[in-house]
Amino acid sequence: MRFHERTLNIKWKKGVKRPEKSNAIDMLCSGQVPPRSPFEVEDYERNFEEVPTPFTPEEREEWLSKLQGVVVSSDAFVSHEHHKLGLANYRCSSPSLTMSTVLDGLESSISLLRQEVRTTALSLTPATSLV
């Protein structure tokens, strides 16, 4: 999703630094937009001249379905979501595979993994005090 034209054409406010851009792009590409709290919305939107429209699940699926010649791997696990989107079945089929194609697939996979980790973390019950 990082190489989708919507992401590439983001209009940043002057002075937004690279880490803030990276975080905002990660939120947009991983489906965390719109943010949940008013504070997060303000923190996200302050980076842009024009706030980009979030990707719909259909746009996400369409973009990912167009990836070819991409190998997706993980040192941890391939989730149900990856199987559902067909990411677990991509194999390198092109002798002229480019690094940007590989990076597209990996960034999409990493974004999905980050989203799953955040979702899992939010659903965990905080430990109760023994005092």
Measured in residues, the chain has a length of 131
Q: Do 36 and 87 belong together in one domain?
A: no
Q: Do 46 and 67 belong together in one domain?
A: no
Predicted pLDDT of residue 84: 53
Ranking 30-34, 88-92, 99-103 by mean pLDDT, the lowest is: 88-92
pLDDT above 70 as % of the chain? 62
Residue 17 has pLDDT above 50, yes or no: yes
Q: Does residue 129 sit within a domain?
A: no
Q: Does residue 62 sit within a domain?
A: yes
Q: What is the pLDDT of residues 59-81, one digit of tens each?
A: 988 988 887 776 666 555 555 55
Q: Does residue 127 sit within a domain?
A: no
Q: Do 60 and 116 belong together in one domain?
A: yes
Task: Reply yes or no: is the peptide bond before residue 38 cis, omega within 30 of 0.
Answer: no
Residue given tokens 């990076």 in the structure block: 103
Q: Do 61 and 109 belong together in one domain?
A: yes
List the domain range (segments joined by +) for residue 84.
56-122
pTM, entire model: 0.54
Q: What's the first-to-final CA gap in the chain, in angstroms?
A: 47
Q: Do 43 and 60 belong together in one domain?
A: no
